[in-house]
Structures are given as C-alpha cells and as structure tokens.
C-alpha cells in the first residue's frame, strides 16, 4: 500500500469512492492530483494519493444511480456509454462509427459521445471539411438518456422535457445538435442533414441513415449478461424494470468485460471513462474536472508526465493559480501503468467573454519528449446566468412526442406504445 497524506480522510475505501465524485470539485483550488490503481479506481479526497492493490478486490466502481440526483453532465457515464457504442458496432459495424474532434470539429461539452451511423458520420465530415462545427450532442447511449430523464423528472439541470430512455432521437445514431446551427443549416442540408423538428433549432437528423433506437438497450443487456452470468436479464432491446434496475447498478465507467469484438476507443493512448465537472461555466468562473482515464498504451505514464496544451498554443482555459503556464497544466505527479486507471483533476478558469462561447482544449500527456495520450476538455462559457443547466438541455423536443398519462422511466416499452395513438401530445422546446 502506498499512501500519501490525507489528514481528513477517515472513510473506508468504498465511502471514499462514493463521496469523492461529489466532493472533489469543491475542494482545494490549488491541488491537482492523480490517483492510480488497477483495475478499479480508488479516488480519494483532494490532497491524498493512495493506491492499494487489495482495494481492487474490495471496492467497486461508482454506479450509474449515484448520479441521478447530482451533477448536470452525462460525461460521468462516458465509460459505460462507450462500451455500449462499441457493442452496437460489434453487432453491426456500420450502425455506429466513431469520429474525433479536431480541426473544424469541436465539442461544446465533455458529454459528447462521438459516434454516428456510418452514412451520417461521412456526411458530417463533408460539412466540417469546409465549415466549423460545434457539437452539443451526437449519439446518446442509454445511461446518458437515463440520467437526463431522471434529472428532468426532478426539475434539475434546466431540463424541461426529456424523452424516456430508449426513445430519444439521439439514441438513433443519426442525430446531431449543433451550437452554431444558425449558420450551418444549408451546409448541413446539402449533405442530407434535415433541420425540420419544429421548435428545436439545434437539432439535425440524417434521415438516410438507419434509426438504431433500441440497439443501445440490447447492447447494454448483452454487456450486463456477459458480466453477470448468474444474474441475467432478457436480451430483448426493450427498456423494462429489469433493465432499469441493472442500469442503475451498472458501473458508470464501464464493466470489467467490455465489447468482445474490440473497441473503437481513441487511438491516443488515453481512454476517458468519466469527466466530472460542469458543462457550462460563467466568464471568469473557476471549475475542476475530475477525469477518470485508462492508460491504453503500452508504456507507463511516469509521475513526471506533463499535461501540455496540444499545438503549444495558449489555452483559453488557463488557470493562473494551478497551471504551470498558459501552455502547460503541469505534471501528473504519479504514475499510471499500462492498462491501469487513474483520476486526474484539472482546474480551469473561464475566459472573460461577453457572448456564449464554446471553449475546447486538447491536452497532451508528454514524457521524455514522447506523446503518450490526449485528454480533451470541452466547456461552454456562458455570460447568460444559465451555467447551472445541462449542456444537453437545449434539445428536449427529442423524440417529437411526449407520452402523458403515466409513462415513466420504468415503463414497459410496448405498454407505452399502446397508448401512443390516444395520448400524443406535441410539446414545444423551452425557447
Ligand atoms: Zn437533438
């Protein structure tokens, strides 16, 4: 066991694990730390770095249900969502394909899950070849829609309407929300992207691509059963009570056994499993991102590994109190072995902008002159006083229909479908 400080930490490892997600971002503005253990992460209070292989056997990852009443970003379930996307690809390689930010293509929050059906992806890249594209949301996997729906039910995160899990347009693999939609409608239309959902300005659909809604539910069921051979659920692609219960207890950063046909994870050496921090902040505001990352490369990341701004240009998100310079966040201070997971905290300060501005920074893990991996930070700076809302709250006219009269997250899909002819209600988006 290796234990460095933590005077305030008297909790057992499981308590620390559960508490840390909610408390780290509110702790020291100055400390940035990395915790690395394998294969499960024991994340500790700020100021403490503790690793103990025995924790691997005694702690489990934070479950999806831990986030149903906290936070407003679905980036906390990225690891599980990526596994689901990969499993869908295993079932049909063209149904969901990965794309990467960079160049003209930027993300407005860390919650963007960059997968689309193959034709939709091709059409998007044709647009971004000539125009900047700011993506609020692309494919949304079951755990993300589950959280959005639960937050909506509680009146949280500024979400005034949300599709029930399984029904969101964004689970179709052919939907996109663009922050800069207003200047991209014709360019998108020219590549087959429809902009026709009334009252939902940010939303585009690539209607020539197949609608794969339900496949993410089936993929989740397959992953669950692979990891729980003695506690199986039905693999029917329907969102019922059994699937909901399994989803609530599933690890937010992903199962031990992922997609069996390989993954489409970023080929950058760093697989981001969770980003806990705001999607939106006010100008001048300070925020902390707790980033759970897996070293997918073949070499260890030494403690001296530096987080550098890719390209060497000054980042918009430079935090003078914690960064080494505008082009370097600083060293990660502990090592993360190949195949191991760790949590890195990165502090940022929002630039003083007067209009809503997406800020996107790519950070490179650099050791001995070698690039070991890439970590992206995406946040929208908002001077409008709405920093507490979800980055995905802009698009809640989401399945085009809202079933009233008792349909809920735990409802049976076929039961809800039977009510549709009687209870169709068209809802308008928030603004
Ligand atoms: Zn949308």
Checking if the pLDDT of 417 tops 80, the result is: no
* Axis crossing angle, helix 215-227 with helix 142-153, rounded to the nearest 10: 110
Model pLDDT for residues 228-273, shown as the tens digit of each residue: 999 999 999 999 999 999 999 999 999 999 998 866 655 568 999 9
pLDDT higher at 105 or 426: 105
Distance CA(127)–CA(254), nearest Å, equals 32
- Quote the ligand 1 centre to 174 CA distance (angstroms): 10
Q: What tens digit of pLDDT does each residue of 11-28 get? A: 333 333 333 333 333 333
The alpha carbon of 170 and the centre of ligand 1 are apart by a number of angstroms equal to 6
Distance 224 CA to ligand 1 centre (A): 28
d(CA 202, ligand 1 centre) in Å: 6
Place of tokens 């908002």: 382
Distance 412 CA to ligand 1 centre (A): 24
pLDDT digits (tens, 9 = 90+) for 30-56: 333 444 443 333 333 333 233 333 333
Q: Model confidence over 63-78: pLDDT tens digits?
A: 999 999 999 999 999 9
pLDDT band of residue 387 (cuts 50, 70, 90) is confident
The sign of the CA dihedral 272, 276, 277, 280 is: positive
How far, in Å, is the centroid of ligand 1 from the Cα of 203? 4
C-alpha distances in Å from residue 19, one per residue of 54, 62, 293: 20, 10, 19
Residue entry with tokens 């430079």 = 318
Where does residue 250 rank: exposed (0-12), middle (13-18), buried (19+ CB within 10 A)? buried
* Alpha carbon of 204 to ligand 1 centroid (Å): 6
- Distance from the CA of 390 to the center of ligand 1, in angstroms? 13
Q: Is the whole model's pTM more than 0.85, yes or no? A: no
Check pLDDT > 80 for residue 130: yes
**pLDDT attached to residue 207:** 95
HSE, CB side, 13 Å, CA atoms: give it for residue 404: 7
On whether the CB atoms of residues 187 and 418 are closer than 8 A, the answer is no
CA of 167 to the centre of ligand 1 (A): 12
Q: What is the mean pLDDT of the chain?
A: 80
What's the rounded Cα separation, in Å, for the pair 163 and 145?
8
Residue 419 has which token pair? 């009510």
Distance 424 CA to ligand 1 centre (A): 19
Query: Ligand 1 center to residue 398 CA distance, Å?
Result: 6
The encoded tokens of residue 61 equal 């990852």
Do 410 and 241 form a contact (C-beta atoms < 8 A)?
Answer: yes
**C-alpha of residue 116 to centroid of ligand 1, in Å:** 13
Compute the average pLDDT of residues 146-175: 93
Between the CA of 141 and the centroid of ligand 1 the distance, in Å, is 13
The pLDDT of residue 106 is 94
Could you tell me the distance, in angstroms and rounded to a whole number, from the CA of residue 213 to the centre of ligand 1? Answer: 14
Backbone angles phi, psi at 245, to 5 degrees: -60, -40
177 alpha carbon to ligand 1 midpoint, in Å?
5
Strands 424-425 and 402-403: antiparallel
């Amino acid at each position: 066991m290796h234990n460095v400080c933590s005077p305030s930490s008297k909790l057992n490892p499981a308590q620390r694990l559960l508490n840390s997600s909610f408390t780290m971002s509110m702790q020291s503005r100055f400390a940035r730390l990395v915790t690395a253990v394998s294969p499960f992460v024991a994340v500790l209070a700020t100021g403490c770095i503790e690793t103990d292989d025995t924790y691997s056997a005694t702690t489990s990852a934070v479950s999806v249900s831990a986030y149903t009443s906290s936070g407003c970003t679905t980036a906390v379930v990225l690891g599980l969502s990526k596994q689901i996307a990969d499993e869908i690809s295993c079932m049909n390689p063209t149904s969901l394909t990965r794309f990467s930010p960079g160049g003209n293509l930027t993300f407005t929050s860390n919650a963007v899950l960059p997968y689309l059906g193959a034709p939709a992806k091709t059409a998007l890249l044709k647009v971004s070849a000539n125009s900047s594209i700011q993506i609020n949301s692309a494919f949304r996997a079951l755990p993300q829609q589950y959280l959005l729906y639960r937050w909506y039910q509680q009146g949280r995160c500024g979400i005034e309407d949300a599709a029930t899990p399984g029904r969101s347009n964004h689970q179709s693999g052919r939907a996109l929300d663009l922050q800069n939609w207003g200047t991209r409608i014709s360019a998108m239309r020219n590549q087959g992207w429809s902009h026709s959902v009334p009252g939902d300005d940010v939303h585009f659909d690539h209607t020539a691509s197949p609608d794969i809604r339900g496949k993410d539910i089936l993929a989740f069921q397959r992953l669950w059963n692979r990891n729980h051979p003695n506690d199986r659920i039905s693999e029917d692609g329907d969102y019922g009570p059994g699937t909901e219960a399994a989803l609530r207890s599933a690890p937010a950063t992903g199962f031990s056994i992922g997609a069996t046909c390989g993954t489409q994870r970023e080929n950058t050496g760093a697989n981001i499993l969770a980003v806990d921090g705001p999607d939106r902040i006010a100008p001048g505001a300070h925020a902390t991102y707790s980033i759970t990352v897996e070293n997918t490369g073949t070499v260890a990341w030494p403690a001296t590994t530096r987080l550098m701004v890719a390209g060497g240009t000054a980042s918009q998100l430079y935090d003078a109190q914690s960064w080494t310079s505008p082009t370097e966040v600083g060293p990660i201070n502990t090592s993360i072995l190949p195949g191991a997971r760790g949590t890195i905290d990165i502090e940022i300060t929002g630039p003083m902008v007067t209009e809503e501005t997406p800020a996107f920074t790519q950070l490179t893990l650099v050791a001995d002159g070698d690039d070991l991996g890439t970590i992206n930070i995406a946040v929208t700076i908002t001077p409008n006083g709405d920093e507490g809302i979800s980055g995905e709250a802009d698009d809640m006219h989401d399945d085009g229909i809202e079933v009233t009269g008792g349909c809920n997250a735990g409802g049976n899909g076929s039961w809800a479908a039977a009510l549709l002819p009687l209870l169709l209600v068209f809802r308008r988006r928030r603004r």
